[in-house]
Chains A and B, each alone.
Chain A
Amino acid sequence: MTDPLVILSGVVKRFGDFTAVHRLDLEIAAGEFIAIMGPSGCGKTTTLRMIAGLEAPSEGEVRIGGRLMNDVPVHERDTPMVWQSLALFPFLNARENVEFGLRMRRIDAAERRRRAAEWLGRLEIGEFAERNVDTLSGGQRQRVALARSLVTEPQILLLDEPLSALDAHLVIRMQGVLTRLQRELGITFVYVTHSQSEAFAMANRIVIMSEGRVVQVGQPREIYRTPENRFVAEFVGRNNILAGTSRGDAIETPLGVFPAAGLPAAGNRATLVVAADLVEIGRTPSEGAIPCSLISEEFVGATVTLFLEAKDGTELKVQLPERALGDLDPHAGGDFHLSWPADAGHILVES
């Protein structure tokens, strides 16, 4: 493994009395597509801005390619960013926007034109080169912003929620464009988002942040299936979270005793997490199944999420494919019975 491209060590960012980022340590490998994800105000954008040099860390070091960057001004960093607002220059046309970075590097006009044309073509917006950016559609503007950032052939591209203003179908299209570009160019993408679907669809590795701290780092599947703490379990996916007490090889919760692996010594507190898509639902009672009544349902096409309530008031969620709904007929009311295989449960041990 080569040296990481970006190293953040012990980075702290304070704004007055408010600490946006607490002691962040993060290494980003060359050629990696990494997503930094978390709710708004978790410090993800501040972290990205520190890599770009738009914010100076209050403490700690930022290194890019081995070089200490703390005192390197923004314009000497070569860390182009795709902004949430896109920040296209409204007084320039699409081609001039793309040429901007080359102009700042004092590359001659003919070469600028050639490279801008190449990138506009690559992003399939060559025909809009001379158009005012105000007259382009959201998707086209997005592509101009990408071309503008990539035309200088950087080692790293920073993306700050670039797809948040697009329509759902365009988001999917642009996700495809981004992953393909990243693979072809082999450069590092650092992608900040609050959207789980965007992060999971594109990133090789995901960093989850909450209140200025990294709470879990891992591959999308790891994050999804084995959350390391309650925050991740609640933020990612749809999980049923039951607090309880360890009995060694099973956990005792208000809803019953469930066998599980990875428990602490008997008597200690632990939390059982069961992903909603691993829960089985039926109409007939069975051994160990939890009787529940339906509260509401969420239908999003291919999948359906049912929200149910156990006798003691605990809310439980079940996610299943629409076609698996079969003769369950949620609208009919009445009781349902929930259960899950022993290996579906995942244990959180928190200090």
Chain B
Amino acid sequence: MSARITTVVLLGWLLLVLVFIFAPIVAAVVFSFNSDRFPTIPLGSFTTHWYDTIFADAEIGEAARNSIIVSLSTSVIATMLGFATAYTDYRYSFRLKGPYLALILLPPTIPLIIMALAMLAWLSWIGASGQLWSIIIAHSVLTAPFAMAIIRLRLNQIDPNLEAAAWNLGSSEWRALRSVILPFCRPAIVSAACLTAAVSFDEFAVAWFVSGLNKTVPVIILEIVQGNIDPQVNAIGSLVFLTSITLVVLAQVFFISRIGRT
């Protein structure tokens, strides 16, 4: 009997946690369809007006385009970097491997604002700030460790003889990498690509510092909010959330369904 009470209490607790996390997001989505200018209860009537205005707004459209370019490029670069480092770790053992891995995993532990400042200082010093690709560089640095961690997890599950078996059957090292290691890692690579795209798409601090005139979606949201109270941000926020959650769910689907198996 007491076990059942425990279960009920724990389920209740879980529900509270979920409400705590998702209520603000649900609120933003609800108010994005609300005709009133101010987010108050009772609600006004249902409208898609705010979505119409953001799609009509050239500046927001530009920001969306920037965000998409940045997140796709970041995803490709970071996943490639992540794969390369994870494979190096899997395949080779060398002195200083510990420090090597620590350095690679360092970026996420640095406070974002420090990272953003450092990126701005460095990129302007080498004359590369204020460009779209400045954001891509910064985001790649920031997200590559996530890609590496996911792919490394997959490589930990590989039969250590699998690659050697390919050599033994006549593959050169490059062909074995292509025909054995890459297919084996595919679920993790797709996951990593989704996750790094999601992180880049949402990232504000670094983008704000290094973007110059090339605003991304999170940057434009801040600008709108600073100006006035505008329900358009709810609409933008809802769309950004939808994009991110889709990418994260996709990453989970590939990760959990495939990685569990060897």
Contact = CB atoms under 8 A, between A and B. Distances in A.
A104 B171 contact: yes
Interface stretch (B32-40, B160-168, B190-198): B160-168
A74 interface: yes
A4 B172 CA distance: 28
Contact of A87 (B159, B172, B186): B159
Interface string A98-141: 00110111000000000000000000000000000010000000
A152 interface: yes
Contact of B161 (A80, A83, A92, A134): A83
A148 B184 contact: no
Given A90-B184, A91-B186, A80 B159 contact: no
Contact of A85 (B161, B167, B169, B184): B161
Contacts of B169: 75, 80, 100-101, 104, 148-149, 152
Contacts of B183: 89, 91-92
Interface string B165-209: 111111111011001100110100000000000000000000000
Q: Looking at chain B's contact residues, is the secondary structure mostly helix, strand, loop, or mixed?
A: helix
A80 B162 contact: no
Contacts of A101: 169-170
Contacts of A84: 161
B262 interface: yes
A34 interface: no
Among B165, B179, B183, residue most surrounded by chain A Cβ atoms (within 10 Å): B165
B172 to A, nearest CB: 5
A78 interface: yes
A54 interface: yes
Contact of B167 (A74, A103, A105): A74
B161 to A, nearest CB: 4
Sorting the interface of chain A by its residue count into under 10, 10 to 19, 20 to 34 or 35 or more gives 20 to 34
Given A54-B168, A81-B168, A90 B161 contact: no
A92 B183 CA distance: 9
Contacts of B261: 90, 134
B262 A104 contact: no
A91 B184 contact: yes
A87 B164 contact: yes
A226 B176 CA distance: 47
Given A134-B261, A152-B170, A104 B175 contact: yes
B170 A105 contact: yes
Nearest to B176: A75
A52 interface: yes
Given A101-B169, A104-B171, A104-B175, A74 B164 contact: yes
A131 B161 CA distance: 22
Nearest to A104: B170
A79 interface: yes
Q: Enumerate the 5 nearest inter-chain pairs by beta-carbon distance, A residue then B residue, closest first.
A: A104-B170, A87-B165, A101-B169, A87-B161, A74-B167
12 contacts: A73-B172, A75-B169, A75-B175, A80-B168, A81-B165, A85-B159, A92-B183, A103-B179, A104-B171, A104-B175, A105-B170, A149-B169
Given A52-B168, A80-B168, A91-B184, 17 more contacts: A54-B167, A54-B168, A73-B167, A74-B167, A75-B175, A75-B176, A76-B170, A79-B168, A80-B169, A87-B162, A89-B165, A90-B261, A91-B183, A92-B183, A101-B169, A104-B175, A104-B179
